[in-house]
Amino acid sequence: MNFAMVTDSCCNLPSEMIDEFGLHILPLRFNIEGKTYQSYLKGEKTDMIQFYKMMREGKSITTSLPSLADAEELFRSILSGGEDILYLGFSSGLSGTYEAIAALLDNLKAEYPNRKIEHVDTLAAAAGEGLLVWYAARMAEEGSSIEEVRDWVEFNRLHLAHWFTVDDLIYLFRGGRVSRTSAWAGSLLNIKPVLHVDDEGHLIPLEKVRGRKKSLNALVEHVKQTAIQPVSEQQFFLTHADCLDDAEYVAEQLRQELGVKDILIVPLDPVIGSHSGPGTMAIFCMAEQR
């Protein structure tokens, strides 16, 4: 790689993959009843089972952007070391992270006129963002230029599909994503929503089904209808919020029904998980359209 690739912790990539590609990660932060944590620290892992246990217990959890001071220090270190920068950021439709980091990078351009400083709003979230970063990192490893990688991500970001469901609508209600009535009725009637991220990077409910198993099967059906062919040759990322059995069930459906071979299953990042709640299950792949 002839340039440094920077992303944020909402990309949801495992630490082994981050190290493999030499990625730089800007950690978003989450606060649990007055104590602040970073969602990514090199060499450390958040106990996600305990995190979602605290959510189920009703602990108060809030989230915030990465430290801009720490981000600037990282960028100056990269630029002073003679490397260019490509930043691929968390959807601006869901967070102010991209806009804040992009502004910081633009301010550094005048100080480093001989360096290339590029940034792209992935309009993606969680391992959807991570899947775009994965493709970009592979391109860079194979010798693509910073401009080629930037252009690929800009062109393909609206072909990155997010299909997901949640187990309890109350968490989306708290984040203003659904109404109180929808959350209450969903819990009472065992209604599970199927959601995606639209072309503006916003979280959008698409349909409602009754029962958890039906919602998981609905995710696979949406993949069947939209995924770029041949589906069997694609890399799939799955994320789960303390529901590994459901993730393994979905993975098996993808293998049996679509012949998918390459599936990475990862726990859902705490910053995103704090808004969608325990039981969130998501599939990410390349599709004809979102």
Q: What is the pLDDT along the chain (290 residues), one digit of tens a residue?
A: 689 999 999 999 999 999 999 999 999 999 999 899 999 988 888 899 999 999 999 998 999 999 999 999 999 999 999 999 999 999 999 999 999 999 999 999 999 999 999 999 999 999 999 999 999 999 999 999 999 999 999 999 999 999 999 988 777 666 555 555 454 455 555 778 899 999 999 988 888 899 999 999 999 999 999 999 999 999 999 999 999 999 999 999 999 999 999 999 999 999 999 999 999 999 999 999 98
CATH of 159-286, one of 3.40.720.10, 3.30.470.20, 3.40.50.10470, 3.30.1180.10: 3.30.1180.10
Question: H or E segment at 32?
Answer: strand 29-32
CB-based burial, 125-144: b 16+ in 10 Å, e otherwise: bbbbbbbbbbbbbebbeeeb
- Cα-based distances in Å from 156 to 48, 102, 133, 271, 289: 31, 20, 11, 25, 10
Residues of the chain with CATH 3.30.1180.10: 159-286
CB atoms within 10 A of CB 67: 15
pLDDT for the residue numbered 184: 46
Cβ distance 44 to 160 under 8 Å? no
pLDDT for the residue numbered 60: 87
Task: Write the Ramachandran bin of 228: left for phi over 0, alpha for psi from -120 to 50, otherwise beta.
Answer: beta
What does the block give as tokens for 142? 């194979």
CATH of 4-157, one of 3.40.50.150, 3.40.50.300, 3.40.50.10170, 3.40.190.10: 3.40.50.10170
Residues of the chain with CATH 3.40.50.10170: 4-157
d(CA 201, CA 58): 28
* Burial degree of 111 (CB within 10 A; 0-12, 13-18, 19+): exposed
Supply the DSSP symbol for 201: S
Question: Structure pTM?
Answer: 0.94
CB atoms within 10 A of CB 206: 12
